[in-house]
Structure 1
Amino acid sequence: MKKTIISLSILLSCAITTNVNADPKTPGTEKGYSTIDILNLGVPKDLNTVSVESLSKELAGKPSMAVGFDVDDTALFSSPVFYRGQQEFSPGGYAYLSNQDFWDKANCGWDIFSMPKKIATELIDMHQQRGDSIYFITGRTGSDCDFTTQYLKRVFNITNMHDVIFAGSSREEYLKAKHIKAHNIKIYYGDANGDIISARQAGAEGIRIMRAANSSYTPIPKNGLYGERVMLNSQY
């Protein structure tokens, strides 16, 4: 009986995790590979990849434009923030993600524990050198503070910083799409399936940033699931 209870608990936990991270159902068109797959097997030959260097050459000579970045697991490795939030507000569960007190902590100070991803630094440097406008659009619930905006500005040395856009989350629609379109963003970088779909709905290119294999945000998505370009060496 004890074994059965433990197994049921694990199944329920997995179900909660999947529901919390679920995007509206959009079938993939390709096999796709998780970051764990790529770390174990190497970069598959059928994965549509791009590097910062090759993208820079591709954009050379083109007019300045607006580009966008997701925040969690794209610009920042923020698992420490979410781990702390779970421990403090709903140990063993995910109710903390619906708790405004958690979001206020995360957005108004705890991001000091979020590590800037190396790939984001390289991409932002490249885009700033081109004179591109940089926007951050996150699925987080917003708070009445600008700590995350100021933190991103500082850690990425952004000259012309726009306020972070807190799009929120929904299981019915891709909330980031309207913001991508409103700011005429041409390239949007993100780690989640919804980031790629949101970009396409807005008429932009969605480029996949690989989610770190040790991210607390599970399940780890399949890079290239929609045939999108995947940024090489972007898991850190």
Structure 2
Amino acid sequence: MSLLKRKNLRFTLLASLLCVAPAFSAVEIPAVAADTGATLQQLNVQYPIHFISIDQIAAGLKGRAPIDVGFDIDDTLLYSTPAFFHGQQLLSPGSNDFLKKSEFWDQLSNGWDAFSVPKKSALALVKLHMDRGDRIWFITARPMPTTGKETVTEQLGKSFSIPADKLNKVIFVGESKGAKVKDIRDHHIEIFYGDADGDIRDAREAGAEPIRVIRAQNSSNQPMPRNGALGEKVLVNSDY
């Protein structure tokens, strides 16, 4: 092949490659909104909360004689949102008016707790105190049923494996300010567990140590409290 033909062939091949070469264009990167994502500093933010575990509670009580301990019920011992949701659907769909009806509270404390779920953290906590021989009291902000009858005590006994001779009747005090103070004091309760700010304040006023149990994120009881906001100890992993 002559030199001229070779040059022409190289030129033809080069032209062909240029024709079929893919076209490259700049990929447009979408703008990032200022309120999305988080900096490392934001990811590392920790709140000054005094968390405590069940093992630490047990260690703190080691060697001590049995004591009296108290528990709130809803969102502390029981995830009772299913029972509340059931009542809402029957009595005031789409609104919270059912909470103002004595019919709801009567039914809730006489059978509807069958819809409630014992929290795993509460099962472990009650077992700790039962194994120690502590006396357990249940103090709830629910109003006393208008009939004077309730099945909550029996339900709690079954759910938490509390023998009949160790099972104290549930104390219904209602939602007025400081409603639990008298009963916490009268029963010489030294530790009181609850999820609400009122539980923490009432325990302190009565001279008991309050320990916050975390309310489940999907609880119907809104707005959510700020755990540790009152300087109380918070039971770790107690939202379920």
TM range (shorter): 0.7 to 0.9
Q: Which runs of 5+ in 2 are unaligned?
A: 1-42
Matching of residues 37-52 of structure 1 within 5 Å: 44=46, 46-52=48-54
> Which residue matches 1:234?
238
> Which residue matches 1:36?
none
- Across the aligned residues of Structure 1 and Structure 2, the Cα RMSD in angstroms comes to 1.4
Cα-to-partner distance string for 1:22-45 (whole Å, 9 max, x where unaligned) = xxxxxxxxxxxxxxxxxxx79936
> Which residue matches 1:168?
174
Matching of residues 41-190 of structure 1 within 5 Å: 44=46, 46-143=48-145, 144-159=148-163, 160-170=166-176, 173-190=177-194
Whole-Å separation in 2 of the counterparts to 1:167 and 1:42: 42
Whole-Å separation in 2 of the counterparts to 1:111 and 1:179: 23
> Which residue matches 1:28?
none
Report the AA paired with residue 120 of structure 1. A
Whole-Å separation in 2 of the counterparts to 1:212 and 1:119: 11
Report the AA paired with residue 185 of structure 1. I
> Which residue matches 1:219?
223
Report the AA paired with residue 151 of structure 2. F
- The Cα of 1:235 is off from its aligned counterpart by 0.3
Q: Which has the higher contact order (CA 8 A, sep 6+)?
A: 1
User: In 2, are the aligned partners of 1:73 and 1:215 still within 8 Å (CA)?
Assistant: yes
Q: Which runs of 5+ in 1 are unaligned?
A: 1-40
**3-state SS, counterpart of residue 63 of structure 2:** coil
Whole-Å separation in 1 of the counterparts to 2:161 and 2:45: 31
| TM superposition score normalised by structure 1 | 0.79
Report the AA paired with residue 220 of structure 2. S
Whole-Å separation in 2 of the counterparts to 1:117 and 1:205: 21
Whole-Å separation in 2 of the counterparts to 1:168 and 1:42: 41
Q: 1:46–1:100: structure 2 CA closer, same or farther, 3 Å change rule? A: same
User: In 2, are the aligned partners of 1:111 and 1:151 still within 8 Å (CA)?
Assistant: yes
User: In 2, are the aligned partners of 1:208 and 1:231 still within 8 Å (CA)?
Assistant: yes
> Which residue matches 1:207?
211
| Rg larger in structure | 2
| TM superposition score normalised by structure 2 | 0.78
Identity %: 46
Whole-Å separation in 2 of the counterparts to 1:90 and 1:78: 17
Report the AA paired with residue 64 of structure 1. P
Aligned length: 194
Cα-to-partner distance string for 1:202-230 (whole Å, 9 max, x where unaligned) = 00011000000000000111000111000
Report the AA paired with residue 189 of structure 1. Y
**3-state SS, counterpart of residue 207 of structure 1:** strand
